[in-house]
Amino acid sequence: SSKEYMSYRAVHRGQAKYVIKRVAEEWEYQNRITFLKGVIDLAMETKFLNSVNHPNIIEPRGFAEGGAFQPGYFIVLDRLHETLPKKIKTWTTTDRQCKGITGVFVGGKAKVAKLITDRLRVAFDVASALHYMHSMNIVYRDLKPDNIGFDVRNSVKIFDFGLAKEMREEERNADGLFKMTGFTGSIRYMAPEVGLRRPYNHTADIYSFSMLLWYILALEPPYGFYTPEMFLQRVFQLGHRPVVMQEWPENIQTVMKRSWDVRLHVRPSFNIIMKVLKKEASKINPTDAREFLAYTGPMGPPATIGGNSGHGNTNSGPPRPSQQQQKQPPRRSSGNRTPAEMAPPPMVPIRS
């Protein structure tokens, strides 16, 4: 499909420092509809990559001259070393080595603690990038393991912005939702309202993140071998969710369940999710979490859990850019938006 070719996984074997992403020109003659979809996806990705600036979003290094709809158009991107599915295979191997009698000889307890904090750090970085996108009124709509990579420094990078969309104020319904294309993204990580083709907003990304977080912690894909029909009936219509493991931190269990709630207003902001992930990482492994907690990237205003559930709560709706972001020369306007535009979700207390 065009998406499979277009994504290019942003991963390239060999020693090349960059990769080139383009649409196969032969598709113009073999399957014109697929070709046109690929061209549009690449044009949309160009727009968003030229508008965002975050350490956990892949950075474009160049664009072909002439515009995205010119023949032979391409984007030059940093090469990524691996994607999240490969990283999870490595985590799974390490996790198995730390169990049983083998774990006694390989320092199992310390390795398990580091393994958990490493996984929480990845989840935190993904949440940080999505928090930033929401502050720019961008909904990503395609969060899945195959769209998360790691560069040569092992830094998390989200890529493939072909399905991203800017939420414009003039397109917002009275209920705060938007009429956007339904059944968009990967069905395993797709929010029910998207799968059922109902109006939705940025909280669709929060649902997708909850499934990704479950995958990172469980080290296996959510819903196993569900078919598309099973997703439609059991997940989207009946509200089935993966089993939450009792050994996972209670705060993470709480935020995960809120994030995949069918009620959009119950889902927490990424600001809250980041706060929970940082806190739990510091509890599990304070030494390895030190750098994790020192993160000072563009993550918006400080999170508050509980307290105000009304007037101007910074946790409701897409967050505003922080002062640090506002001082940076913007690549484009993020639109006019007030903190009261989105109805604030009820706050569920997170235990300290």
Characterize 18-29 residue by residue with b for buried, 16 or more Cβ atoms within 10 angstroms of its Cβ, and e for exposed.
ebebbbeeebee
Six-digit token string for 124: 């935190």
239 in the Ramachandran plot: left (φ > 0), alpha (ψ -120 to 50) or beta? left
Which residues are catalytic, by number? Answer: 142
CB atoms near residue 181 (< 10 Å): 11
3-state secondary structure the chain: CHHHHHHHHHECCCCCCEEEEECCCCHHHHCHHHHHHHHHHHHHHHHHHCCCCCCCECCEEEECCCCCCCCCCEEEEECECEEHHHHHHHHHHHHHHCCHHHHHHCCHHHHHHHHHHHHHHHHHHHHHHHHHHHHCCEECCCCCHHHEEECCCCCEEECCCCCCEECCHHHECCCCCECCCCCCCCHHHCCHHHHCCCCECCHHHHHHHHHHHHHHHHCCCCCCCCCHHHHHHHHHHCCCCCCCCCCCCHHHHHHHHHHCCCCHHHCCCHHHHHHHHHHHHHHHCCCCHHHHHCCCCCCCCCCCCCCCCCCCCCCCCCCCCCHHHHHCCCCCCCCCCCHHHCCCCCCCCCCC
Q: Kindly report the backbone phi and psi dihedral angles of residue 305, in degrees, each rounded to the nearest multiple of 5, phi listed first.
A: -105, 125
